[in-house]
Structure 1
Amino acid sequence: MAQFLIVTDDIDDWRPYLPSDNLVTVHDYLEMGAFADQNAMQVINLCRRYDYLSTGYYCSLMAEARGHRVIPKVMTINDLSQDRFFSLPQAGLDKLPASVTDIAMKVYFGYCDNPALDKIARKIFERFTVPVLQVNLLNISGRWQVEVIEPVAFQDLCESEQDLFAKYLEVFSQKVWRAPKPFKRYRYEIAMLVDNNEKMPPSDKAALKLFTKAASRIGMDLVQIGKHDLSRLSEFDGLFIRSTTNISNFTYRFAKAAEQLGLVVMDDPESIMKCTNKVFLTELLYKHKVPVPKSIIFKASDKNWADKVIDAIGLPIVLKVPDGAFSLGVVKVKDRAMLIEQAEQIFKHSALILAQAFMPTDYDWRIGVLNRQPIYACRYFMSRGHWQIYQHHQSGRVSSGDFDCIDLKMVPHNIVDAAVKASNLIGAGLYGVDLKEIDGKAFVIEVNDNPSIDHGVEDLFLGDLVYDRVMTEFLRRIQLRGL
Structure 2
Amino acid sequence: MSRLSIIVDQTVDWKAYHPTEDLHSAQAYLDGADLEPQRVINLCRSYKYLSRGYYVSLLAEARGHKVIPSVKALTDLSQPAIYGVFDQSINKMLDKVALDARKLSWRIYFGEAEQEDLAEVSRQLFERFPVPILEVRFQKKTDWQLASVRAVGLTKLIETEESFFADSLERFSKKVWRAPRAKRNYRYDLAILVNKDEALPPSDKAALRKFERAAKRQGMDVEFIQPSDYFRLAEFDALFIRETTNVNHHTYRFSRKAAHEGMVVMDDPDSILRCTNKIYLSDLIHNRRLPAPTSRAITQINNAVIDELEADLGYPLVLKIPDGSFSRGVVKVGDAAALRQTAHDLLAQSAIILAQAYVPTDYDWRIGVLGGRAIYACRYFMAKGHWQIYNHAAKPSQQSGGFETVPTHEAPRAVIKAALDVASAFGDGLYGVDLKQKGDEVYIIEVNDNPSIDGGVEDAWAGDGLYDAIMETFRQRLDRR
TM-score by length of 1: 0.92
Residue 194 of structure 2 corresponds to residue 197 of structure 1? no
The residue that corresponds to 2:470 in the other structure is 470
**Greater shift in the superposed pair: 99-108 or 298-307:** 298-307
How far 1:136 sits from its partner (Å)? 1.7
**Residue type of the partner of 2:265?**
V
Residue 50 of structure 2 corresponds to residue 49 of structure 1? no
CA contact under 8 A between 1:42 and 1:68: conserved in structure 2?
yes
How far 1:129 sits from its partner (Å)? 0.1
CA contact under 8 A between 1:88 and 1:144: conserved in structure 2?
no
* Distance change (3 Å), C-alpha of 1:304 and 1:67: farther
* Distance change (3 Å), C-alpha of 1:302 and 1:75: farther
> d(CA) in 2 for partners of 1:198 and 1:56?
40
Q: Deviations over 1:31-82 (max 9, x none)?
A: 5x944x43x4222222333233334333323333333222112222221111
Q: Deviations over 1:350-382 (max 9, x none)?
A: 111111111111211111011221111111112
How far 1:302 sits from its partner (Å)? 7.9
How far 1:458 sits from its partner (Å)? 0.3
Q: Deviations over 1:157-176 (max 9, x none)?
A: 22333333332222212223
CA contact under 8 A between 1:377 and 1:408: conserved in structure 2?
yes
Residue 162 of structure 2 corresponds to residue 165 of structure 1? no
How far 1:152 sits from its partner (Å)? 0.8
CA contact under 8 A between 1:93 and 1:144: conserved in structure 2?
yes
> d(CA) in 1 for partners of 2:447 and 2:2?
34
> d(CA) in 1 for partners of 2:447 and 2:262?
25
> d(CA) in 1 for partners of 2:138 and 2:259?
30
Contiguous gaps of at least 5 residues in structure 2:
none
**Residue type of the partner of 2:138?**
L
Residue 459 of structure 2 corresponds to residue 459 of structure 1? yes
After superposition, residues 397-476 of structure 1 pair within 5 angstroms as: 399-476=399-476
The residue that corresponds to 1:88 in the other structure is 86
CA contact under 8 A between 2:301 and 2:343: conserved in structure 1?
no
The residue that corresponds to 2:324 in the other structure is 324
**Greater shift in the superposed pair: 203-212 or 341-350:** 203-212
Q: Deviations over 1:215-265 (max 9, x none)?
A: 233332322222222122233222211111111222112222222233221
After superposition, residues 226-375 of structure 1 pair within 5 angstroms as: 226-300=226-300, 304-375=304-375
The number of aligned residues is 477
- Secondary structure at the counterpart of residue 59 of structure 1: helix
* Distance change (3 Å), C-alpha of 1:11 and 1:398: same
**Residue type of the partner of 2:100?**
S
**Greater shift in the superposed pair: 16-25 or 451-460:** 16-25
* Distance change (3 Å), C-alpha of 1:21 and 1:353: same
How far 1:314 sits from its partner (Å)? 2.4
The residue that corresponds to 1:7 in the other structure is 7
Q: Deviations over 1:367-409 (max 9, x none)?
A: 1011221111111112232221111216677622221001111
**Residue type of the partner of 1:132?**
I
**Residue type of the partner of 1:69?**
K
* Distance change (3 Å), C-alpha of 1:277 and 1:397: farther
> d(CA) in 2 for partners of 1:167 and 1:262?
30
After superposition, residues 103-182 of structure 1 pair within 5 angstroms as: 103-141=104-142, 143-182=143-182
Q: Deviations over 1:130-176 (max 9, x none)?
A: 011111223434x3222221111112222333333332222212223
After superposition, residues 189-228 of structure 1 pair within 5 angstroms as: 189-228=189-228
* Distance change (3 Å), C-alpha of 1:135 and 1:207: same
> d(CA) in 2 for partners of 1:132 and 1:398?
50
> d(CA) in 2 for partners of 1:293 and 1:161?
62
**Residue type of the partner of 2:365?**
W
Which one of the candidate residues 51, 66, 77 is aligned to 1:69?
Answer: 66
**Greater shift in the superposed pair: 362-371 or 87-96:** 87-96
**Greater shift in the superposed pair: 219-228 or 420-429:** 219-228
How far 1:185 sits from its partner (Å)? 5.6
**Greater shift in the superposed pair: 319-328 or 211-220:** 211-220
> d(CA) in 2 for partners of 1:391 and 1:171?
40
The residue that corresponds to 2:75 in the other structure is 78
How far 1:453 sits from its partner (Å)? 0.5
TM-align CA RMSD:
2.3
> d(CA) in 2 for partners of 1:440 and 1:345?
36
CA contact under 8 A between 1:2 and 1:237: conserved in structure 2?
no
> d(CA) in 2 for partners of 1:265 and 1:362?
35
- Secondary structure at the counterpart of residue 150 of structure 2: strand
Contiguous gaps of at least 5 residues in structure 1:
none
- Secondary structure at the counterpart of residue 392 of structure 1: coil
Identity of aligned residues (%): 47
* Distance change (3 Å), C-alpha of 1:70 and 1:448: same
**Residue type of the partner of 1:65?**
A
- Secondary structure at the counterpart of residue 73 of structure 2: helix
> d(CA) in 2 for partners of 1:294 and 1:280?
15
**Greater shift in the superposed pair: 217-226 or 146-155:** 217-226
How far 1:451 sits from its partner (Å)? 0.3
**Residue type of the partner of 1:126?**
E
**Greater shift in the superposed pair: 286-295 or 401-410:** 286-295
> d(CA) in 1 for partners of 2:301 and 2:390?
32
